[in-house]
């Protein structure tokens, strides 16, 4: 789960080392992409170009409040059109959720980082991918051509790990 049943990010999932890992990863990316209810909320967030998914607009439109943000509705424009409109050319994009957004890019990730906090149960929560918990995130990623690497311990006291999942073949078109 990446959020509880109300859609909130619960304190039980907040792990300082995981937040630092996430922030370092985003600092290495050129842009972020997320659904309208997600945001990384970091010091450098305002400097980051971003695509924000929403059905409230027909295709692609510039945010009136943030000159670096574009709203994108995938049913009205392709990802390639939205990416071109962002104007970054060949660059690194970090997809940061939530559920439906993580699911949309399963065939395209070069790498997906899966963090796990053991011992936390969030019944009815928002899953990392749409088909969880019917299937495990690992089974879903494997089916989409990703292979799990070695887990890295982020917080030994709480047993929190992050595992990179890398694409075995060329990304899907
Ligand atoms: N632990 C983690 O790694 C992690 C990651 C991400 C989020 N979260 C948490 O999860 C919660 C938010 O979850 P959420 O599922 O509501 O996420 P979300 O993806 O941020 O927001 C959902 C909204 O995004 C838009 N959207 C999503 N898919 C779309 C599509 N295919 N086409 C067009 N628009 C689309 C829709 O906006 P409109 O309503 O405007 O149409 C939808 O209501 C937050 O508490 C956040 O902190 C946790």
Residue 173 in domain: no
Distance separating alpha carbons of residues 119 and 84, to the nearest angstrom: 42
Alpha carbon nearest to ligand 1 atom 45, residue? 8
pLDDT tens digits, 58-107 = 999 999 999 999 999 999 999 999 999 999 999 999 999 999 999 999 99
Q: Is 50 in the pocket of ligand 1 (CB under 6 A)?
A: no
Distance separating alpha carbons of residues 118 and 115, to the nearest angstrom: 10
SS3 54: coil
Domain residues for the domain of 107 are 11-167
pLDDT tens digits, 112-129 = 999 999 999 999 999 999
More confident residue, 171 or 90: 90
Buried b (16+ CB within 10 A) or exposed e, 113-133: bbbebeeeeeeebbbbbebbe
Q: What is the CATH number of the domain that holds 61?
A: 3.40.430.10
Distance separating alpha carbons of residues 90 and 94, to the nearest angstrom: 13
Alpha carbon nearest to ligand 1 atom 13, residue? 98
pTM of the model: 0.95
Statement: residue 173 has pLDDT above 80: no
Distance, CA 126 to ligand 1 centroid (Å)? 10
Ligand 1: residue of 35, 40, 56 to mutate (most ligand atoms within 8 A of CB) is 35
pLDDT tens digits, 124-144 = 999 999 999 999 999 999 999
Residue 1 in domain: no
Picking from 159, 154, 164, the residue whose alpha carbon sits closest to that of residue 113 is 164
* Residues 26 and 50 sit within 8 Å (Cβ to Cβ): no
> How many domains does the chain divide into?
1
Residue 22 in domain: yes
Distance, CA 99 to ligand 1 centroid (Å)? 6
Q: Is 24 in the pocket of ligand 1 (CB under 6 A)?
A: no
pLDDT of 168:
86
């Amino acid at each position: 789960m990446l959020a509880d049943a109300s859609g909130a990010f619960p304190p039980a999932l907040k792990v300082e080392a995981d937040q630092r890992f996430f922030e370092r990863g985003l600092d290495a990316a050129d842009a972020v992409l997320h659904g309208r209810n997600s945001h990384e909320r970091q010091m450098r967030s305002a400097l980051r170009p971003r695509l924000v998914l929403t059905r409230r607009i027909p295709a692609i439109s510039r945010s009136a409040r943030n000159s670096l943000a574009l709203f994108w509705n995938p049913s009205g424009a392709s990802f390639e059109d939205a990416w071109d409109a962002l104007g970054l050319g060949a660059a690194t994009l970090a997809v940061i959720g939530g559920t439906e957004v993580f699911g949309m890019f399963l065939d395209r990730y070069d790498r997906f980082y899966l963090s796990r906090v053991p011992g936390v149960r969030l019944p009815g929560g928002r899953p990392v991918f749409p088909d969880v918990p019917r299937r495990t995130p690992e089974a879903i990623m494997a089916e989409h051509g990703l292979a799990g690497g070695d887990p890295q311990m982020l917080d030994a006291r709480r047993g929190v790990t992050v595992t990179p999942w890398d694409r075995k073949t060329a990304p899907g078109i």
